[in-house]
Every structure is written in structure tokens, then in C-alpha cells.
Structure 1
Amino acid sequence: MRDEYVTHLSQGCASEEAEQKILDGYGQLLAQPEIACCVYFALADTAWKYGRLSASLKAKALPLLQSGGDVFVWQRDAPANVAARIKVLKALEARLNRVQPPELPVKFAPPKPQKVRTTAPIGSVFSLALPSGNAALLILVGYKELTESIDPVFSALSWRAASIEAVPQHITTTDPTLPFNAFRKQCAHVAILPGDQRRNILFRLEQTSIRVEPLLPYNPESIVWLAIGRIAREIDAFYDSHNHAASLAR
């Protein structure tokens, strides 16, 4: 996110415009305190260091810092590092209250054309090999436009089998899909987090001839970005946990 802010500046955006582009990218996720803290703290810190911190962004970051910031996340997930986190947040609060340095010059760099990850039509169905040896289905439900790329967004069909030959040849909106966890919230869709920008992010997916009628619903505000290996592991984990619960129930 820090790099993206600087990229916006290098492409000619004014400081407040660059800030707003970042915030718009998170949308409703900013209603979650732990996400809001990560975004506002990193953005305010970067803008201050470049001498461009706006009054509006400062007014968002300081109250969060004064109320304890995201210490509650560290108490929950990394209690051994709470003291260090408090020290970092106090230092950030003190810095934001100081006069910021003069504006750092940012070399102009015209935007590069967005990378189109795939031209597959919405409704395309891809199979994904899982660590368990089974296969899962990912349905292309829409596209998300990012600063540098246009990325496919998928729903994972609530289905896992030993081979792709066993899957139904038609999928409808009544077929259930799997949720993905993100920041203690369940998301309806998943997008692939690139491990290597030089590589096709769909390299582990195989497009099928299965048809989707009608198209599945798509909510652009309900997406989590995961590496393709993580997606496969989460699908396996979902089924393993449900199978274990079913065996206990019997």
C-alpha cells in the first residue's frame, strides 16, 4: 500500500487524490477496526514522510492511535509482541503531531498499461488440483480492476471429488459455494494473489467445458486475495473439517 501511494504520486496525482485512491480500494473493509488501523497508520506514516500528509487523513489516523490503535489484534494474535507494538504506535502518534518535513520530490512516471490476467468470459469454470489429490471447481464470477492489473475473481463450488470426470456438466445459482476467511470475516469470493508477476496466475488452473446457467452472483466488496496454494489448502481444510464433524456426529 505504501508503494501504491508513491506510485499514484509519481503518476501525477495530488497528495489528497493519492490518499483517496488508496482508501477507495478498501471500501467497506475500512469499517473493520483492525483493517482501518493498518490502512490509516501506514498511509499517514508514508504521506508524512513525503511531506504530504493531509489534514483529513491526519484526523482519521490520530483518533485511532489515541484510542489504542490495533493493540487488541496483537493481544489476540501475538501477545509476546504487544509491548513492541505499543512503542511503535506511540512513536507514530508523536511523529504525526510534529511538523512534517518539506515535500519530497517524486519523479514522474507515466502509468503502464494494466495487465489483463485472463480474457476468459465470466462463467468460465476451472478445475484446481488439491493437495489431497482431489479436484475442486472455481467459477469465474467477475473482474476486479486494480492499479496495475485487471484480475479474475472466483467462487469455489462446494464440491470436491477424486477426478474432474465426476463433476456435473451444468452449474446453476442454486449450487452452493464455499466461503473464504479474511480478517475474521467470511468472503464470498477469492482472487489469486500473484507469487511472481512474470508468471500467469492461472498456471495451476485448467479451464473446463462445464457451463454455468445463469451466471453466479458477484459482490465486489466480498473478495479475499490468497495465493493459489493457499486456496487449494483452504478448500481441502473445509472438507476435512466437515468430514470430521460428520464422523463425530455419527
Structure 2
Amino acid sequence: MMGAWGTGLYSDDTSCDVRDDYVTHLTQGCASEEAEQKILGGYGPLLAQPEIACCVYFALADTAWKYGRLSASLKAKALSLLQSGGDVFVWKRDAPTNVAARIKVLKALEARLNRIQPTELPMQLTPPKPQKVRTTAPIGSVFSLSLPSGNVALLILVGYKELAESIDPVFSALSWRAASVDAAPRHIAATDPTLPFNAFRKQCAHVAILPGDQRRNILFGLEQTSIRVEALLPYNPESIVWLAIGRIAREIDAFYHNHASSPTR
């Protein structure tokens, strides 16, 4: 249920992000259709997943309606999803006792979208803040990360992800851990295996660091090494999960605990 904590329309992280980002785009001077496209473009291929599509289109259509900016195409898409049952299938699968409550929420949304929307609300424009560049380390940099087990792992910087307020480094975790970085391979090839990270019942190829303290360097807890990457590792910007640095270390240890036959060098 996409991290849902209730049956309400905005009782999950994705819907809240869509609502807040849409309003931010309006306050930064975007026209309504441009704001819509920014939101939809940000989810890209993920909209092919019905669960995600419902969260995104329902929150976007509802927010646009409340601000008097709901376009005909967005309205038609949201109503089409609602008339086909919306995301009730998710609730039947994961929380059957809450199905009736979710159906009530979706019926209320459908009724609202079919009413005449309010007069377009004026927006107080706020210039966008400059993006915070988290680090200028070059792609291909290799960092060591201390693990709770006492071992160390290697994170390779494979790319950058541009967000609304920041540009974040994205890493792949090499399928390797050892008692010290001295045992690490001196060269890493593009074909060397990397570890997956779990997110919303799927696995992501890469991880980005969720900052716990905005005043601290995003790479705090990592040590840059002199290990050389022979060729750039694959990078898929649609396969990233954001985790706190401590969570990244715990997940790497957990992977090896659950795959005891995996090599530990």
C-alpha cells in the first residue's frame, strides 16, 4: 500500500509528495498543465504500475481540482482509474478489513471530481531555492562504509539524481565485504556484481543517502578510497531507494546474513 498509514486520500507518502510538489510548482510560477506534466514526468515508467498510478493521479487530480486548475485530460484519467476500481485491489490484498473505508474515500473523490471545480485560486509566487549540490565527488569514486558487523563494504558513485531542492549522489554497493579496506580489490570492473536494496516490495539497483542532518556533509560516515573503477558501472536513475547511512550499512550486513554462502573476502 505504498507506505500507507490509513485509508485517506493523503495517508501515504506518494500522495503527499504529489500534492506538495504540485503546489510548489504553482508557487514557483508554473502554469497548471506544466505543473501536471512535471509531476507525471517525475514518475515516468512507474505509472505503468496500477498501484502507483492510482496514488499519483488521484492526489494530482484532487489537488488540481481544489486549486481550480483540473485539466480535462487529468480529470478523464483519474475518473477512468476510479471507474475501473481504483486501488481497491491493493487493499483487498493487504488490508481486507479496510476495504470498505477505502471504497468510501474513492467514491467521495469521484463525486468531487464530477462537480464543478472552484474558481482558480491565485498563487503567491515564491522564487525557487537554488539546488543544494550534495557533493562534487566524480562519478567512479569508491567509498568504504563501516558495517555493524565490524566489516567494511564498498560504495561506488555511479551517478547523480536531480531533485527539486538538491542534486544527490547515487551509489551501487559492490558485492564484497571484509574486515578492512586493505583487503579490497584494487580495481573494479563494470561487470562486477553489486547488491540490491529493498523498497516497496521491489528491489532497487542503487541507493542514495537520506540526510539525517542537513548541516552535515552527505558523505559523512564514508571514507573515500584510492580504488580505481576501470569502467563506469551501469546506472538506472529509475531504480534508486533513499536510505539513512546507518540503514544502508544494516541492509548490507543483512544481505550477507541471509545469503551465508555469498563470498566474504
State the TM-score, normalizing by the size of structure 1.
Answer: 0.90
Shift of 1:177: 0.5
1:33 aligned residue (50, 67, 73) = 50
Structure 2 match to 1:128: 145
Deviations 1:161-193 (A, max 9, x none): 222222112111121011223333332212223
Q: 1:110 to 1:207 in 2, by over 3 A?
A: same
1:168 aligned residue (179, 185, 202) = 185
1:23 aligned onto 2:40: yes
> Is 182-191 or 38-47 further displaced after alignment?
182-191
Separation in structure 2 between the aligned mates of residue 197 and residue 91 of structure 1, nearest angstrom:
39
Q: Percent identity?
A: 88
Shift of 1:17: 0.2
Residue correspondence of structure 1 range 1-250 to structure 2 within 5 A: 1=17, 2-243=19-260, 246=261
Q: 1:234 to 1:75 in 2, by over 3 A?
A: farther
Deviations 1:120-161 (A, max 9, x none): 000011122223332221110011111211111111111122
Shift of 1:75: 2.8
Shift of 1:196: 4.1
User: What letter corresponds to residue 247 of structure 2 in structure 1?
Assistant: R
Shift of 1:92: 1.3
Separation in structure 2 between the aligned mates of residue 83 and residue 229 of structure 1, nearest angstrom:
39
Alignment root-mean-square deviation, CA: 1.9
User: What letter corresponds to residue 8 of structure 1 in structure 2?
Assistant: H
Separation in structure 2 between the aligned mates of residue 177 and residue 5 of structure 1, nearest angstrom:
35
- Give ranges in structure 2 of 5+ residues lacking alignment: 1-16
> Is 23-32 or 67-76 further displaced after alignment?
67-76
User: What letter corresponds to residue 98 of structure 1 in structure 2?
Assistant: R
Partner of 1:156, secondary structure, is strand
User: What letter corresponds to residue 256 of structure 2 in structure 1?
Assistant: Y
> Is 9-18 or 187-196 further displaced after alignment?
187-196
State the TM-score, normalizing by the size of structure 2.
Answer: 0.86
Deviations 1:32-81 (A, max 9, x none): 11111111111111111111111111122111122222222223333333
Separation in structure 2 between the aligned mates of residue 86 and residue 226 of structure 1, nearest angstrom:
33
Q: 1:69 to 1:113 in 2, by over 3 A?
A: same
Partner of 2:259, secondary structure, is helix
Deviations 1:222-250 (A, max 9, x none): 2223333332222222211111xx49xxx
Partner of 1:234, secondary structure, is helix
Shift of 1:14: 0.3
- Give ranges in structure 1 of 5+ residues lacking alignment: none
